């Protein structure tokens, strides 16, 4: 045996790595799932020429007036059918012919419906002979980096790094504890820190593949931009993964059963799925909860990645999220080292 | 040992360097007044033990007697509430790192990762030790050559147990702890493991094992401590302990009276114990037990005494006295009762 084979840290890391690769489900969740998700979202939010809004009208005259606007697709419906179509979301607005004019039926809390209300009204007023008071002209901009897919890719990356780090670490540790393997390990002369370190190192090796596959796909399939330094993006991914690994370690440091661990894991991850701006901007939450939202590791990670990829920001400009991520690495790791249950 | 190639025994024995560096005392383990309680259970209740270098020492007792707690205290996995433990002349408080390098441990219920191969598992454990035997040697010793590339999940119970032994051996330990090494194994796998322990004994290794199988303790151990309720209730070589039963053989019988031909009839014990060679008499659930020396002379007299009482034998058998009988005599319970 050569020197490397006799190194316990190398052996521990190698074993971790092999065990992950021999778990087909893990491969699916780490590598395939994020790509499927990106494809799905990419299809759902693909670049439509412009949003064509579905609307309804009760008379053919009205329908013709509405069809004149390219932003609208109008159907003729009677009032009862139209109301039903409105309720099921098939149309956003129903224009009803009244003896004294037109009534618009729509949900004013839905932004699309409010937009429809404006376009429909303009189309009907124009058809009735209204003229623009001020001459206006549109200049259209379709730039990559401002599309939804560009926004959501860093979010998915962050979410994926969180999931794979936490599940990867947490389950493996709890399983080893449950099967008394942890106890057997500490009964040997193995240095305990190396055991925990081997999880981080194997994570690191997987991370490179995981991030490269996902971002490569996003680049090739959707042309998602990388405006910042790729090296710095890699560093951000690393910090994200380490922070969530530490959190996964903390969550699994006492749990004796898989059930307890997965409950805790979901408890920790659920708020971040909702609050951290994976699918929409976290700044939509009320100002009161913003400090909390900003302090979450996933928010920090996604903000920093969006800053890097979409705005080309350097690490120097991302001090706050980076500091938050570092804190989420150091504190949970230190705490779990103290409270870790080895048997 | 019929299924083993002739050279493997030699290779296995030759693979080990004799344990060196022992203190002049020659004792591998010393426990003084050790106590350990869990919640409301006094698992170990004032234990004094000493195990000599090169000895195979057995802790025998029913489940819950405190054997595992005792061995885990020796292994440094459980801290005793009270008392002193000295292993290879060191103690766990100051010498843990050195001790971990010098002892080999097999725990009762370790499940190694199913998706690693035998070789990978051993290579991992080998990497923890500064010195030791090669992975190949450990595979050979545990007779897992054919399973070298197999995943642990596909091994039989006996093979998994031999893998656990191999993991305990890779560091070429001076002292080996085996916690119930054959529990749950079928008789053939058990015999296979006994052969392995025999070879380790031949190589001069100190072994401390726990078991609740008396035949295992008799077969493997130079000395045995019988434990019950956290205490050692008997200590000695298997022969010495068996001698305390009083006779070399045990006669067991059940009777029914001739008149009603059914049910257990009363037996007068005095005429039986009066027979020369009969040392003691006890009854357990209708089954009478006599410990007997000079079986060939005593048995005809026992028959005579029973028929004189008008009793009809419904069962009769004899066996050589075992450690089980020692336990029964000391506690009035069977080892397997628990």
The pLDDT tens digits for A296-343 are 999 999 999 999 998 889 988 999 999 999 999 999 988 988 899 887
* Claim to verify: residue B114 and residue B256 sit in the same structural domain: no
- Strands of chain B, DSSP E: 27-38, 41-52, 56-60, 82-87, 103-106, 175-179, 206-211, 223-228, 231-236, 249-257, 278-284, 287-292, 311-320
Tell me which residue of B109, B54, B41, B46 sits closest to B73, measured CA to CA.
B46
Tokens of B327: 């336990």
Which of B248, B176, B181, B240 lies closest to B210, judged by CA?
B181
**Residue A19: CB partners within 8 Å, gap ≥ 6?**
A172, B113, B115, B116
Say if the Cβ atoms of A183 and B135 lie within 8 Å: no
Kindly report, residue by residue over B66-78, the tens digit of the pLDDT: 999 999 999 999 9
Entry pTM: 0.74
Contact B105/A22, CB-based, under 8 Å? no
Tokens standing for residue A336: 């779990």
> CB distance B135–A19 less than 8 Å?
no
CA distance A248 to B265: 69
pLDDT band at residue B4 using 50, 70 and 90 as cut-offs? very low
Which residues pair with residue B176 across a beta bridge?
B104, B207
Domain boundary residue, one of B219, B241, B263 = B241
- Within an 8 Å CB–CB cutoff, is residue A2 touching chain B? no
ipTM reported for the complex, 2 dp: 0.77
Q: Which residues of B200-238 are buried (b: 16+ CB within 10 A; e: fewer)?
A: bbebebbbbbbbbbbebbbbbbebbbbbbbbbbebbeeb
A87 touches chain B (CB under 8 A): no
Which residue in B97, B110, B113 is closest to A19 by CB distance?
Answer: B113
B261 & B225 share domain: no
B199 and B312 co-located in one domain: no
Position A148 scores a pLDDT of 80
B100: phi then psi, degrees, rounded to nearest 5: -55, -30
Tokens coding A296? 């979450």
Residue B7 confidence (pLDDT) above 60: no
Binning chain B into helix, strand and coil, the percentages to the nearest 5 are 35, 30, 35
Starting at the edge strand that comes first in sequence, how are the strands of the sheet with A53-57 ordered? A72-76, A53-57, A93-98, A101-106
Chain B interface includes A181 (CB < 8 A)? yes
Q: Are residues B155 and B236 in the same domain?
A: yes
Asked whether the predicted pLDDT for residue A141 surpasses 70, the reply is no
A19 neighbourhood in chain B, CB within 8 Å? 113, 115-116
pLDDT in tens, B105-151: 999 888 899 999 999 999 999 999 998 999 999 999 888 999 999 99
Mean pLDDT of chain A: 87
CATH code for position B159: 3.40.50.300
Q: In the sheet where B278-284 sits, what is the strand order?
A: B278-284, B287-292, B249-257, B311-320
Q: Which of A255-264, B32-41, B241-250 has the lowest mean pLDDT?
A: B241-250
B264 pLDDT more than 60: no
> Range of B209's domain?
6-241
Cα separation of A312 and A229, whole Å?
7
Residues B150 and B117 sit within 8 Å (Cβ to Cβ)? yes
Q: Closest partner residue to A189 among B100, B115, B167, by Cβ?
A: B100
Say how far apart CA B106 and CA B161 lie, in whole Å: 9
Judged by phi (left if over 0) then psi (alpha if -120 to 50, else beta), residue B23 lies in beta
CATH number at residue B279: 3.30.70
Residues of chain B contacting residue A183, judged by C-beta atoms under 8 Å apart: 77, 107, 110
pLDDT digits (tens, 9 = 90+) for B47-104: 999 999 999 999 998 888 899 999 999 999 999 999 999 999 998 989 899 999 999 9
Residue B12 burial (10 A CB sphere; 0-12, 13-18, 19+): buried
Residue B228 included in any domain: yes
pLDDT attached to residue B3: 43
Contact between A57 and A95 under an 8 Å Cβ cutoff? The reply is yes
**pLDDT (0 to 100) of residue B23:** 40
- Inside any domain, residue B333: no
B128 in A contact zone (CB under 8 Å): yes
List of chain B residues whose C-beta atoms are within 8 Å of the C-beta of residue A23? 115
Name the E strands within A219-318.
Answer: none
C-alpha–C-alpha distance, residues A275 and B318, integer Å: 77
CB contact under 8 A, B107 and A19: no
For range A97-118, the mean pLDDT: 89
Task: For residues B292 and B295, give the distance between their C-alpha atoms in angstroms, rounded to a whole number.
Answer: 6
pLDDT reported for residue B236 = 92
Fold of A53-127: D-Maltodextrin-Binding Protein; domain 2 (3.40.190)
Q: How far apart are CA B123 and CA B109, in angstroms?
A: 20
User: CA of B122 to nearest chain A CA: how many angstroms apart?
Assistant: 10
Per-residue pLDDT, A183: 92
Number of domains within chain B:
2
In this structure, are strands B175-179 and B206-211 parallel, antiparallel, or unpaired? parallel
Between chains, do B107 and A180 touch, taking CB under 8 Å as contact? yes
Q: Give the tokens for residue B105.
A: 């441990």
Q: Which of A10, A184, A189 sits opposite B110 (nearest CB)?
A: A184
Q: Choose one of B226, B241, B256: the last residue of a domain.
A: B241
- A1 interfacial to chain B (CB closer than 8 Å): yes
Chain B CB contacts of A190 below 8 Å: 128
**In angstroms, rounded to a whole number, what is the distance separating the alpha carbons of residues B157 and B162?**
9
* Long-range contacts of B184-187, Cβ-Cβ distance < 8 Å, separation of 24 or more: B184/B157, B185/B157, B185/B158, B185/B161, B186/B157, B186/B158
Do B54 and B170 lie in one domain? The reply is yes
Residues of chain A with CATH 3.40.190.10: 53-127
User: How confident is the model over A5-49, as pLDDT tens digits?
Assistant: 778 999 999 999 898 888 888 778 777 887 787 788 777 766 555
Subunit contact B125:A188, Cβ cutoff 8 A? yes
Instruction: Please indicate, yes or no, whether residues B229 and B270 belong to a single structural domain of this protein.
Output: no
Pair A149, A224: CB distance under 8 Å: yes
Shared domain check, B250 and B195: no
Q: Which pLDDT score, from 0 to 100, does residue B61 have?
A: 87
In this structure, the answer to whether residues B221 and B289 fall within a common structural domain is no
Q: Are residues B227 and B264 in the same domain?
A: no
Dmax over CA atoms of chain A, in Å, equals 94
Which of B241, B276, B303 is the endpoint of a domain? B241
Output DSSP code: residue B148: T
Q: Is residue B331 part of a domain?
A: no
Q: Which of A52, A133, A61, A135 is nearest to A95 (CA)?
A: A61
What is the rounded distance in angstroms from the CA atom of residue A118 to the CA atom of residue B52? Answer: 95
Assign 3-class secondary structure to B290-329: EEECCHHHHHHHHHHHHHHCCEEEEEEEEEECCHHHHHHH
CA distances from B189 to B108, B117, B200, B220 (A): 16, 20, 17, 15
| For residue A171, pLDDT beyond 90 | no
Are residues B212 and B309 both part of a single domain?
Answer: no
Q: Which range is most confident: A66-75, A229-238, B245-254?
A: A229-238
């Amino acid at each position: 045996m050569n020197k490397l084979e006799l190194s316990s840290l190398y052996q521990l890391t190698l074993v971790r790595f092999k065990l992950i690769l021999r778990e087909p489900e893990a491969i699916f969740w780490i590598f395939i799932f994020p790509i499927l998700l990106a494809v799905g979202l990419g299809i759902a939010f693909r670049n439509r020429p412009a949003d064509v809004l579905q609307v309804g009208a009760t008379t053919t005259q009205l329908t013709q007036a509405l069809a004149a606007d390219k932003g609208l697709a109008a159907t003729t419906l009677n009032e009862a059918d139209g109301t039903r179509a409105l309720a099921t979301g098939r149309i956003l607005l129903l224009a009803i012919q009244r003896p004294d004019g037109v009534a618009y039926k729509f949900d004013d809390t839905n932004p699309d419906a409010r937009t429809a209300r404006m376009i429909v009204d303009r189309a009907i007023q124009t058809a009735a002979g209204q003229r623009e008071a001020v001459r206006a002209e549109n200049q259209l901009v379709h730039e990559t980096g401002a599309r939804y897919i560009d926004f959501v890719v860093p979010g998915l990356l962050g979410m994926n790094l969180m999931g794979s780090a936490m599940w990867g670490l947490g389950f493996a540790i709890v399983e080893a504890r449950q099967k008394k393997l942890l106890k057997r390990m500490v009964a040997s002369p193995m240095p305990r820190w190396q055991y925990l370190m081997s999880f981080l190192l194997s994570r690191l090796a997987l991370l490179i593949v995981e991030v490269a596959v996902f971002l490569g796909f996003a680049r090739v399939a959707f042309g998602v931009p990388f405006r910042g330094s790729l090296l710095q993006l890699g560093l951000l991914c690393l910090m994200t993964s380490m922070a969530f690994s530490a959190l996964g370690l903390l969550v699994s440091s006492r749990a004796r059963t898989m059930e307890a661990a997965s409950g805790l894991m979901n408890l920790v991850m659920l708020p971040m799925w909702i609050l951290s701006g994976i699918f929409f901007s976290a700044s939509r939450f009320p100002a009161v909860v913003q400090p909390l939202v900003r302090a979450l590791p996933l928010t920090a990670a996604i903000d920093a990645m969006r800053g890097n990829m979409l705005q080309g920001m350097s690490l120097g400009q991302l001090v706050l999220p980076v500091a938050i991520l570092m804190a989420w690495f150091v504190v949970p790791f230190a705490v779990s080292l103290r409270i870790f249950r080895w048997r | 040992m019929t299924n083993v190639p002739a050279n493997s025994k030699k290779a296995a024995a030759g693979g080990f360097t004799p344990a060196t560096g022992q203190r002049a005392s020659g004792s591998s383990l010393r426990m003084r007044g050790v106590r350990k309680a869990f919640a409301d259970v006094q698992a170990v209740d004032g234990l004094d033990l000493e195990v000599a270098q090169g000895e195979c020492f057995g802790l025998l007792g029913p489940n819950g007697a405190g054997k595992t707690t005792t061995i885990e205290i020796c292994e440094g996995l459980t801290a005793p509430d009270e008392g002193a433990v000295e292993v290879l002349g060191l103690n766990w408080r100051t010498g843990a790192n050195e001790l971990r390098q010098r002892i080999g441990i097999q725990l009762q219920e370790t499940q190694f990762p199913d998706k690693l191969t035998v070789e990978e598992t051993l290579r991992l454990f080998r990497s923890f030790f500064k010195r030791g035997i090669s992975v190949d040697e450990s595979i050979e010793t545990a007779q897992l050559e054919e399973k070298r590339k197999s995943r642990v999940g596909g091994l039989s119970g006996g093979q998994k147990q031999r893998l656990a032994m191999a993991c305990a051996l890779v560091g070429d330990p001076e002292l080996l702890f085996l916690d119930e090494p054959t529990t749950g194994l079928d008789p053939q796998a058990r015999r296979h493991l006994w052969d392995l322990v025999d070879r380790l004994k031949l190589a001069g290794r100190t072994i401390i094992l726990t078991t609740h199988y008396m035949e295992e303790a008799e077969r493997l151990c130079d000395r045995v401590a019988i434990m019950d309720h956290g205490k050692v209730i008997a200590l000695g070589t298997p022969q010495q302990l068996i001698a305390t039963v009083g006779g070399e053989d045990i006669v067991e019988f059940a009777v029914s009276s001739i008149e009603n031909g059914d049910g257990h009839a009363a037996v007068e014990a005095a005429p039986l114990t009066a027979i020369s060679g009969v040392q003691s008499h006890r009854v357990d659930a209708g089954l009478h037990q006599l410990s007997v020396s000079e079986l060939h002379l005593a048995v005809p007299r026992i028959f005579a005494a029973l028929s004189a009482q008008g009793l009809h034998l419904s069962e009769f058998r004899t066996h050589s006295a075992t450690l089980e009988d020692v336990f029964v005599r000391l506690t009035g319970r069977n080892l397997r009762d628990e």
